[in-house]
């Protein structure tokens, strides 16, 4: 009986699905099975009983009906970038929306519609075709669905807020197989929960976003210094942000200069301090706002330049390609004290050899903080900064040391952290939802879960348990 769901599925009247299901059905042994079961994080290696690829909402309803009838664990896959691999499973069914891709934009209403399986690049391209933009994440092969349902942080966040702050409506297939719309006017309570805890309540088949004007080029790139200058660079990072407009986004990183051959010999392969910038205002304003940061040093590298927004959106795609092993841990910070930067430097020195790790700080606030904390399930709007330790590697022997490194760094930073955690960064499963959302929001989410998914059909996520 141990593998009952698997055996049941394989013996089951699959034709009962195939008769009414227009999409693809892939089972163990099929030529595409091994590629269909892959997700972005190379650490995740699971064997679902079947992978189905719906082509439209009706297919999603049918796949879910079948899964519930067969009592299969349900994994929902958008772009497949879940850090802990929550969009796949062993023995259950993967409802993979990769055949429901694409996004369209309407310049008249300044809105865009993205399908449930769309990637960020598709939404970016559709909006930029009309000089418009929806604020999304920084790696263009990430899924719109998972990113949005968790919150959505990115280069334009101080100007236009999180991705959920531009979300106007979601079409959702619920646990009982109904198709509902959630917006401020329809199922408003559900819409509140979808914006931050969204993977818990159903399968999103489309998203409607408000778009914002972004016609001209942006100013984007990094200044790089040896790590010995980290303290001074961090001070300048803070000052530049305080003085700078909402159009200015900055990130501060402590990392190794890898691959070494891509860097000048004085830093190649060594630890560096990096300040990255994205300024979405006019180039002349960016030049003024970034002048002090660029004059400091001089930097070993200054790659800041004027470029199309879409070029910046693709800049990190190759470095974050599919298949590497990956782990991260994050926290929100009210401020960025010198002691924390020193702690980051100390941990950067302890990064395991062979792992490509990064101690990152992103600016927060402005448009994010203009939305009241209780307006959405997302928790942590009043932070000053977001801190993450991210690490990528290929050798399985580094699994433990790499994860331990990130865990230890964020644990050491805990005394500096503020409330809430970004759900999309939580790499462990079984995390207490109270730590992510706080007590009061978690209670409200449990109530919502009882209403919309009392049987916890959607549990492969940072799960809000209905009981």
**Torsion angles phi and psi, residue 166, rounded to 5:** -105, 0
CB of 295 to ligand FAD, least distance (A): 29
Using the rule CB under 6 A, is 360 a contact of ligand FAD?
no
CB of 235 to ligand FAD, least distance (A): 26
Strands (E), 216-297: 218-226, 248-256, 271-279
CB of 431 to ligand FAD, least distance (A): 13
CB of 87 to ligand FAD, least distance (A): 3
Q: To the nearest 5 percent, what fractions of the chain are helix, strand and coil?
A: 35, 25, 40
Strand-pairing partners, residue 220, are: 278, 305
Q: How far apart are CA 136 and CA 157, in angstroms?
A: 8
Residues 6+ apart with CB under 8 A from 254: 227, 230, 271, 272, 273, 274, 344, 345, 347, 348, 358, 359
Three-state SS for 249? strand
Strands 218-226 and 305-307: antiparallel
Token pair in block for residue 72:
């299969």
CB of 112 to ligand FAD, least distance (A): 16
The H helix count followed by the E strand count for the chain is 16, 19
Residues 6+ apart with CB under 8 A from 413: 331, 333, 340, 343, 344, 387
Of 54 and 299, nearer to ligand FAD (C-beta) is 54
Using the rule CB under 6 A, is 43 a contact of ligand FAD?
no
Say if CB 123 and CB 78 are below 8 A apart: no
Of 53 and 225, nearer to ligand FAD (C-beta) is 53
Using the rule CB under 6 A, is 149 a contact of ligand FAD?
yes
Interacting residues with ligand FAD between 264 and 323 (CB under 6 A) = 320
Using the rule CB under 6 A, is 344 a contact of ligand FAD?
no
Of 219 and 461, nearer to ligand FAD (C-beta) is 461
Binding mask 174-203 for ligand FAD (x = CB under 6 A): -------------------------x---x
Three-state SS for 147? helix
Using the rule CB under 6 A, is 204 a contact of ligand FAD?
yes
Number of residues binding to ligand FAD, judged by CB under 6 A: 34
Strands 74-77 and 93-96: parallel
Interacting residues with ligand FAD between 60 and 99 (CB under 6 A) = 76-83, 86-87, 97
Binding mask 406-445 for ligand FAD (x = CB under 6 A): ------------------x---------------------
Which one-letter DSSP state was computed for residue 143?
B
Which one-letter DSSP state was computed for residue 352?
P
Interacting residues with ligand FAD between 118 and 147 (CB under 6 A) = 137-139, 142-143, 145-147
In the list 114, 153, 280, 377, the residue contacting ligand FAD (rule: CB under 6 A) is 153
Piece in contact with ligand FAD (CB under 6 A), picked from 151-159, 174-182, 257-265, 426-434: 151-159
Binding site for ligand FAD (CB under 6 A): 40, 76-83, 86-87, 97, 116, 137-139, 142-143, 145-147, 149-154, 199, 203-204, 320, 424, 460-461
């Amino acid at each position: 009986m141990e593998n009952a769901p698997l055996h049941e599925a394989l013996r089951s009247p699959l034709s009962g699905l195939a008769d009414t299901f227009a999409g693809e059905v892939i089972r163990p042994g099929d030529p595409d099975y091994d590629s269909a079961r892959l997700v972005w994080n190379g650490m995740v290696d699971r064997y679902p009983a079947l992978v189905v690829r719906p082509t439209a909402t009706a297919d999603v309803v049918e796949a879910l009906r079948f899964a519930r009838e067969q009592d299969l664990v349900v994994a929902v896959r958008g772009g497949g970038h879940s850090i802990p691999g929550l969009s796949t499973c062993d023995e259950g069914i993967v409802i993979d929306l990769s055949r429901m891709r694409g996004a369209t934009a309407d310049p008249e209403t300044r809105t865009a519609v993205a399908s449930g399986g769309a990637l960020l690049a598709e939404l970016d391209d559709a909006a930029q075709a009309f000089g418009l933009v929806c604020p999304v994440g920084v790696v263009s092969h990430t899924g719109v669905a998972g990113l949005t349902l968790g919150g959505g942080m990115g280069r334009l966040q101080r100007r236009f807020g999180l991705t959920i702050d531009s979300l106007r409506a979601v079409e959702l297939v619920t646990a009982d197989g109904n198709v509902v719309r959630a917006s401020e006017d329809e199922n408003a309570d559900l819409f509140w929960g979808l914006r931050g805890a969204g993977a818990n309540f159903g399968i999103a088949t489309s998203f409607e976003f408000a778009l914002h004007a972004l016609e001209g080029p942006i100013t984007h790139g990094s200044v790089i210094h040896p790590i010995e200058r980290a303290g001074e660079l961090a001070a300048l990072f803070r000052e530049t942000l305080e003085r700078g407009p909402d159009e200015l986004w900055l990130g501060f990183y402590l990392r190794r200069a890898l691959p070494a051959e891509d860097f000048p010999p004085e830093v190649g392969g060594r630890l560096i301090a990096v300040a990255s910038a994205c300024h979405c205002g006019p180039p002349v304003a960016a030049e003024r706002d970034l002048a002090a940061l660029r004059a400091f040093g001089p930097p070993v590298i200054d790659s800041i330049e004027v470029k199309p927004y879409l070029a910046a959106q693709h800049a990190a795609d190759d470095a974050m390609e599919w298949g590497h092993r990956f782990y991260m841990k994050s926290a929100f910070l009210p401020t960025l004290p010198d002691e924390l930067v020193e702690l980051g430097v100390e941990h950067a020195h302890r990064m395991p050899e062979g792992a490509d790790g990064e101690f990152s700080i992103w600016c927060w606030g402005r448009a994010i903080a203009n939305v009241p904390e209780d307006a959405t399930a997302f928790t942590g709007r009043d932070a000053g900064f977001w801190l993450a330790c991210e690490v990528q590697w290929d050798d399985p022997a580094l699994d433990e040391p790499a994860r331990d490194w990130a865990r230890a760094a964020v644990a050491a930073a805990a005394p500096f952290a503020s409330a809430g955690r970004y759900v999309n960064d939580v790499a462990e499963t079984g995390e207490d939802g109270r730590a992510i959302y706080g007590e009061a929001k978690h209670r409200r989410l449990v109530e919502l879960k009882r209403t919309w998914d009392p049987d916890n059909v959607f549990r492969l996520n940072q799960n809000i348990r209905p009981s």
